[in-house]
Amino acid sequence: MIKNGILTVSTFVSAVLFPWPLTALLALVASFFEPLVPLAAGLFADTLYYAPQAGALPTFTLYGLLLSIIAVLVRGQLRASIMR
Amino acid sequence: MKRTFLARRNALLSATRISWGIIALAFAILMLLTRLLAPNLFLHAFTPAFRIANTIAAKSHTFFASFGDTAALAVRNEQLAGENAALATENQALLEKEAGLNRLMGSSGSQKIAASAILAGVVARPPESPYDTLVVAAGSSAGVTLGMEAFGEGGVPLGVVSSVTADFSRVTLFSAPHMITHGWIGHAGLPLSILGAGAGALQASLSRSADVVVGDTVFAPGPGMLPIGSVVRIDSDPSSPGITLLIKPKVNPFSLTWVELLDVGAALRNVFSVATSTP
C-alpha cells in the first residue's frame, strides 16, 4: 500500500520536476500496481503543459489512457488465471 | 440458518481500501478544473515548482558535463572564445553602421519596435514541457496579447504567444510538433515551410534541385529576415523527389531564461504608417 502511494506521488512529482521520459517510466511501473496512475499522470502532465496550438491531441492523456486500459486488461487476465 | 454475504469486488475500488489510482485521478481532474476555471491561479501555484525544476535541470547539466573530456572541453572553450571575439567585433561594426544609417534617415523603425517589446522571464521550458511550449511570467497585465512573437537573445525568433492569462503566457515554439512556419533559406532567400519536429528540432522539405548545403542559415519573418537556425543535416532518399533538411535552432530552447515578446505585426504596421504618411 505504501509502495503504491510512493510510486503514485513520485510519478506526479516527476511530471513537474523531471523530464517526461522519467515520468513515463514511473507511470509504467506504477501501472503494475495501480492501473489508473498512467491515465492520471497523463492528464496531469497535459494540464500543466498542453497548449492547443502545439498539437492536435493531448498526447499524454491518450497514451496514459491506453496504458491504463492495457494494465486493467492484464490484471483481469492474471486474476482469471489464478482462479482456474 | 447461516447466511453468507459475499462482498462485491471491484478491480479499482474496494470497500477495504481506497485505490491510490482513484486518488491520483481525482487530483488530476481537480488540477484540470483549476486550470480551466482559474488559469492564472493555477500558474501562480505551480511557478515555485517550475523554478525548482529549472534549478534541478541546470544543476544536473553541470554535474553530467563535469564527466566530459576535459581536453576536448578546453579546445571547445577556446574555439568558442575566438568565435565570441569575432562576433563582438562584427556586432560593433554593425552597430556603427546602424548608427550611421539612423543619422542619415532620422529615427529608425527598429527603435520604435524595440520600445514596445516586453521582457518576460521563462517559468517552464521544454525539458519539463514535452510540447515545446514555454510558460513565461508576463501576461495581459503586462500588455501581452495573443499572436505576439517571442524573441531570444540576439533577436532570434522562437515562437508565438498561444495563450494569455493575467500574469502568465504560453509561447508555442516554432519547434513544436505540427507547427508550420513559412521562411527562407540561404542568401538567395529560397522560400520553404519549416515544420516543428519536437524537442527543439525543426525540419523542412525541398525539391532535390534546390541548391542547399549543410550550414545554410534558415530565416523567419519578423522585423526583416531573422535567422532562426541552420541546416545540420540533409537527408536524401533516392526514391523521393525531395530532400529533408534537419535544422538546428540558433537559440537552445532548453536553456532559455528570458524572452522578449513583441507584437511584430502591429509594430510593423505602425512603422509603415508613419513612414508612408505624408504631412
Q: pTM of the full predicted structure?
A: 0.70
Selecting from B32, B127, B133 the residue whose C-beta is nearest the C-beta of A54 gives: B133
Which pLDDT value is given to residue B278? 38
B116 vs B110, residue with greater confidence: B116
Cβ of B53 within 8 Å of Cβ of A16? The answer is yes
CB burial of residue B86 (10 Å; 0-12, 13-18, 19+) = exposed
Greatest mean pLDDT among B63-72, B136-145, B207-216: B136-145
Residues 49-78 of B with CB under 8 A from A: 49-50, 52-53, 56
Which pLDDT value is given to residue B273? 43
Which pLDDT value is given to residue B246? 87
Task: For B148-180, write each residue's pLDDT tens digit.
Answer: 888 888 788 888 888 888 888 888 888 887 788
| DSSP letters for B86-137 | HHHHHHHHHHHHHHHHHHHHSS-HHHHHHHT-EEEEEEE-TTT-TTSEEEES
**Average pLDDT value for chain A:** 84
All residues of chain A having their beta carbon less than 8 Å from the beta carbon of residue B32 are: 43, 47
Is the pLDDT confidence value at B251 over 60?
Answer: yes
Residues, chain A, total?
84
Quick one: pLDDT band at residue B279, thresholds 50, 70, 90? very low
Q: What is the mean pLDDT of residues B241-257?
A: 82
> For chain A, which residues lie within 8 Å of any Cβ of chain B, measuring from their own Cβ?
1, 4-5, 7-8, 11-12, 16-20, 34-37, 39-41, 43-45, 47-56, 59-60, 72, 75-76, 79
A26 vs B82, residue with greater confidence: A26
Are β-strands B201-207 and B133-136 bridged in parallel, bridged antiparallel, or unpaired?
A: unpaired
Which pLDDT value is given to residue A68? 92
Is the pLDDT confidence value at B29 over 90?
Answer: yes
Quick one: pLDDT band at residue B10, thresholds 50, 70, 90? low
State yes or no: ipTM above 0.90: no
- Kindly report the nearest CA distance between residue B31 and chain A, in angstroms: 7
DSSP code for A56: S
Q: What is the mean pLDDT of residues A46-59?
A: 75
DSSP code for B220: E
Selecting from A18, A40, A55 the residue whose C-beta is nearest the C-beta of B131 gives: A55
Is the pLDDT confidence value at B33 over 90?
Answer: yes
Which pLDDT value is given to residue B145? 86
**Average pLDDT value for chain B:** 78
Q: What is the mean pLDDT of residues B44-69?
A: 78
Question: In 10 A of CB A22, how many CB atoms?
Answer: 14
